[in-house]
Amino acid sequence: MKPLVEDLCRTDDHEGGQNSAKTSDSYMPASPLEVAKLRSFIHACPVLAAVNEVNRNPSNRFGPSAQLAPLDGKRAFGGPNAECYRGFDQGLDVDSQQIRCEVPLMEALDVFQQSAIASEADQRLLVRLIDVQELVGDDLEWVESALDRVARDGTSPATEAAHHLVSRGGKRVRPLVVLLSAACFGGVSPNTRSLALVSELIHTATLLHDDVADEGMQRRGAATSRRVWGNAVSVLAGDLLLVQALTQTLVDMPSVLPELLLTLRQMVDGEVLQLRGRTQLHLSEEHYFQIVRGKTASLFAWAARSGALSSGASSLQAEALGTFGDKLGIAFQLVDDVLDYIGTKTGKTSLADLREGKLTLPLVVAVQRCPELQDELQRIHAGEEDRLDIVASQVIQTGACDEVRARALLVTEEALAQLTHIAVSPAVNLLKGVAEDLVARLG
């Protein structure tokens, strides 16, 4: 496939037949012929190019910054001020007459080529994105705008610390679950939108708190708020968002507030259980799933159940959606666990969970298969970070990541089974797609 990339980078008849392609790191304008060739190539694979952008940059996943349009020599994927391909930090600007390369042109074209040979699953993902935009795109845009507004509402510097994280984007999976769960039973109401906002406010608040507890250095590809403003401000910024979330729920849909408070209690309990792992090794699956159900799955379950209730679902229907959310949350965490070992460009520090002493299922499975790993873990707990790569390599060699990947697929199937209790609709199909896409992050 290299000749295609090289051909796109070569301009035999530009400036007297000299090859104008460069592979240095300096900025350069592409020639008119290069522009024409690139646009021709882009036209051949606009779908997969856009999908690749979504996969590489989670901050563009859903919301107003993910306005999908055909790649026609204009903007392909991004908000009003976005360029064509933000996975390379504005790597290609096809809005201008010429293409400006802030990375080598060959490298940028390589990405588009990889997109062109992507799997059929990627094509299905793009179709799903289009459907999402058609069904709840306006609602997601409202949520994104409200997040920006709420994060700025309060006292400085807590607002700056909160907005710092909010502005980095995110997959916005929880708001999407709220909106699609409601859409399964009719239209999305203003109350539904508020609950979608609440779900992301709570999630963001927990991230601000987690980064302090875990001494996190990087989040969503940037320095954590605690590194910029300090631990105290980061904690208070999380508190601010939690207060905003509870107030929003009380005003717009107080009937789901008691369950939200219970969910918050479960999340705190899960965090405390996880925190114990810094001093005590609890390498049991039972202990692991206690943490996951509290920290992660409980909010997914609330998001799906409250979304359904906001649109008039029966108690049985809401319960089915709640179970779907619970399973979805577990699968989501299993995938994240595996990505800590084999993932790239996840937006957080590599081996962050292992470094922070967090219990992950690949680690539990690996120790079951290779008990001597416990000695290495004890050394990491004692502060010997030079053992991290050794343990990570051994975890992968045991096949633990493959087993956890298989379990994530199984839990996803259990989640999808819950949707059989709901009448088939575009929203139900999209919920299925969301569940499948989360696991597809593992390839």
Q: Domain check: are 174 and 318 in the same one?
A: yes
Q: Domain check: are 209 and 60 in the same one?
A: no
Residues 6+ apart with CB under 8 A from 12: 19
Answer with the residue of higher pLDDT: 90 or 317: 317
Written as one letter, the residue type at 289 is F
Q: Domain check: are 175 and 81 in the same one?
A: no
Q: Domain check: are 337 and 252 in the same one?
A: yes
Domain count, the chain: 2
The top-scoring range by mean pLDDT among 170-179, 225-234, 270-279, 338-347 is 225-234
Q: Domain check: are 31 and 131 in the same one?
A: no
Q: Domain check: are 102 and 79 in the same one?
A: yes
DSSP 279: T
Residue ending a domain, among 62, 92, 116, is 116
pLDDT for position 123: 57
- Residues 161 and 170: their CA atoms lie apart, in Å, by 16
pLDDT band at 121 (very low <50, low <70, confident <90, very high): very low
pLDDT for position 344: 54
What is the extent of the structural domain holding 42? 2-116
What's the whole-model pTM score?
Answer: 0.72
Place of tokens 């779900």: 199
* Cα–Cα nearest to 86, from 62, 56, 64, 130: 56
Q: Domain check: are 109 and 213 in the same one?
A: no
**Residue 302 and residue 353 in contact, taking contact as beta carbons nearer than 8 Å:** no
Question: In this prediction, what percent of the chain has a pLDDT beyond 70?
Answer: 69
Q: Domain check: are 319 and 366 in the same one?
A: yes
- 331: domain CATH number is 1.10.600.10
Residue ending a domain, among 99, 116, 133, is 116
Question: In this prediction, what percent of the chain has a pLDDT beyond 90?
Answer: 52
Q: Domain check: are 103 and 126 in the same one?
A: no
Q: Average pLDDT, stretch 349-356? A: 68
Q: Average pLDDT, stretch 43-69? A: 37
pLDDT exceeds 50 at position 55: no
Place of tokens 């250095």: 217
Residue ending a domain, among 71, 92, 116, is 116
Q: Domain check: are 333 and 401 in the same one?
A: yes
Q: Domain check: are 423 and 295 in the same one?
A: yes
Q: Domain check: are 211 and 167 in the same one?
A: yes
Q: What is the pLDDT of residues 392-432, one digit of tens each?
A: 899 999 999 999 999 999 999 999 999 999 999 999 999 99
